[in-house]
Amino acid sequence: MLDDPSLWLFAFAWFLAGFVNGISGMGAAMVALPIVAGSMNPAILVPATTVCVTIISASTAWVFWRHTRWHALKALLVGAVPGAAAGLGILLILPTSVLQLAAGVIMILFVAWQFNHSQGKAHGDTVPAGLTAGFFAGFVNTSISFGNPPVAIYSLYAGWNQLETLGSMNVYTFFVCLITMAAHASAGLYTMDVFEHALFGGPATILGMMAALPIAKHISQAVFRRILLLVIAAAGVVCLVRGLLAL
């Protein structure tokens, strides 16, 4: 096992993923997948990725636990349930490529608008806004596997600070991943190969997060907001590329 280069590549990818997640609160899978996707069987890649995302979200959430916006999370998680159902339903009507292109355009336009307008007054946490963001998070998570950008957009709308964003987004991701892992387990996707990759990727992503923490503590709120917007933009570009390649 130790002489398998694919396992070390997986560990390296998830170290970088943990670092990015520790800085921005999201984007772990978006960083790791392009590095390892070409060298791994999808039957191993998908469940192993879910395990690693669960580990990094749990680790980051634990560090920033006391900053979590629990009231907002309740609305986000409740809204995600009908959103997930709608996402599954839309897959029966529209191809994934169309959904990816639409999501990518929306994310990029949102970021462009944010960068070209001064930051407005924070709206705070409201149940209608939380339910709406949760709905779209569940929708895009089940339809194109990109659930965090709507939550990140909501965090900017509500005016969460850096620590609240790092804690709340990762608690949200952790709960969503638990549901996904249960679905994977019921489908029998967890094999020894999956656990071997998780054994390498899990500790590596925690080390990446720990390496990011000293840097994250010295990032101002304004810089953190720009980083979060750039990660949302990167997610939009990934969606566009996936959509175009799938046409």
Distance CA 127, CA 237 (A): 30
Is residue 230 within 8 Å of 80, Cβ to Cβ? no
Distance CA 51, CA 47 (A): 6
Q: What is the pTM of this model?
A: 0.87
Cα separation values, 119 from 35, 78, 149, 158, 183, Å: 34, 28, 18, 12, 40
Domain spans in the chain, listed from the N-terminal domain onward = 5-246
Tens-place pLDDT, residues 172-196? 999 988 888 888 898 888 999 999 9
Tens-place pLDDT, residues 20-39? 999 998 888 888 888 887 78
Tens-place pLDDT, residues 100-140? 899 889 999 999 988 876 666 778 899 999 999 999 988 88
